[in-house]
């Protein structure tokens, strides 16, 4: 059964203090690993898709990386507007095409 | 571009009532999904569809039904509402498998 575990559950950083969020996954053949950002009261906003180990994607202060067992979302010199919940999800090669989400990491950037 | 549109945004139901949550997308996406999100529990997949006429159960399908008669629409039906169905419901769509899904703004449902 596909599983996604995110850590930490919550993270408080000072503005400019870089850090990384972790997403560990178990899937029988990875079709895609997805990162989303969710603001309070809103739907998740798609950020990245990663397909194979070694792949990296960047967007502004965010960089996502992928290994065979985990993905990291690196946040460089964050600003208060980066505060949000970051969600990781996987889709396996199974016939069923389910996208399974982790519980997310709540990130709070202090000015 | 409207993207994924969900209606209503808020609803209060009494125990035992039924309702349909509407979801429509204008991106010609084949895949559509329904999730529920409870505090601290992440997103749980209820039902999904890989194309018109095809639906399948997700992680938490009990108490819900879906249909997919067109590419654009994927309504979620709640029969005999229960307090355990109090949640925020999100609809999402993607072009195909292996592509990131795009979400609607959600429906906040309270069952009293």
- Digitized pLDDT (tens) for each residue of chain B, 112 residues in all: 689 999 999 999 999 999 999 999 999 999 999 999 998 788 999 999 999 999 999 999 999 999 999 999 999 999 899 999 999 999 999 988 888 899 999 999 999 9
Instruction: Collect all residues of chain A within an 8 Å Cβ-Cβ radius of residue B4.
Output: 43
User: Which residue ranges form the domains of chain A, and what is each CATH number?
Assistant: 3-110 (2.60.40.10)
Residue B8 resides in a domain: yes
- Find the Cα–Cα–Cα–Cα dihedral B12, B42, B61, B45, rounded to 10°: 120
CA–CA–CA angle A25, A30, A36 (5° rounding): 60
CB count in 10 Å sphere of residue B69: 10
Q: Mind telling me how many Å the CA of A34 is from chain B's nearest CA? A: 6
Encode pLDDT of A75-100 as tens digits: 999 999 999 999 999 998 876 678 89
Q: Which two tokens stand for residue B79?
A: 């029969």
**Domain assignment of residue B15, yes or no:** yes
**Which of the residues A99, A103, A105, A106 would you substitute to probe the B interface, choosing the one with the greatest number of B C-beta atoms within 10 Å?**
A99
Q: Is residue B44 part of a domain?
A: yes
Residue B73 resides in a domain: yes
CB contact under 8 A, A101 and B106: no
CATH code for position B77: 2.60.40.10
Note whether residue B109 is domain-resident: no
Query: What is d(CA B15, CA B4) in angstroms, rounded to the nearest whole number?
Result: 28
* CA B15 – CA B108 distance, rounded (Å): 16
- Of the candidates A102, A93, A70, A73, which has an alpha carbon nearest to the alpha carbon of residue A3? A102
Contacts of A95 by beta carbon, 8 Å cutoff, 6+ apart: none
Here the tokens at position B66 are: 């879906």
Calculate how close chain B gets to A93, using CA atoms only, in Å. Answer: 9
CB contact under 8 A, A100 and B45: yes
Nearest by CB: A101 against B43, B56, B97: B43
């Amino acid at each position: 059964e596909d599983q996604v575990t995110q850590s930490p559950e919550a993270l408080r950083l000072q503005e400019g203090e870089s850090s990384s969020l972790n997403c560990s996954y178990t899937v029988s053949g990875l079709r895609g690993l997805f990162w989303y950002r969710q603001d309070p009261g809103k739907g998740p906003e798609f950020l990245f898709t990663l397909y194979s180990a070694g792949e990296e994607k960047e967007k502004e202060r965010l960089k996502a990386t992928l290994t065979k067992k985990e993905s990291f979302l690196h946040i460089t010199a964050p600003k208060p507007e980066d505060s949000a919940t970051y969600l990781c999800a996987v889709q396996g090669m199974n016939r069923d095409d389910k996208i399974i989400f982790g519980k997310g990491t709540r990130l709070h950037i202090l000015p | 571009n409207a993207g994924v549109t969900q209606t209503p945004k808020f609803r209060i139901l009494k125990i035992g009532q039924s309702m349909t949550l509407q979801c429509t997308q204008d991106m010609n996406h084949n895949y559509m999904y329904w999730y529920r999100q409870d505090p601290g529990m992440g997103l749980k997949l209820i039902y999904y569809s890989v194309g018109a006429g095809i639906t399948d159960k997700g992680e938490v399908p009990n108490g819900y039904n879906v249909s997919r008669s067109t590419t654009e629409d994927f309504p979620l039906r709640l029969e005999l509402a229960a307090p355990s169905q109090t949640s925020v419901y999100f609809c999402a769509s993607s072009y195909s498998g292996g592509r990131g899904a795009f979400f609607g703004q959600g429906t906040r449902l309270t069952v009293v």
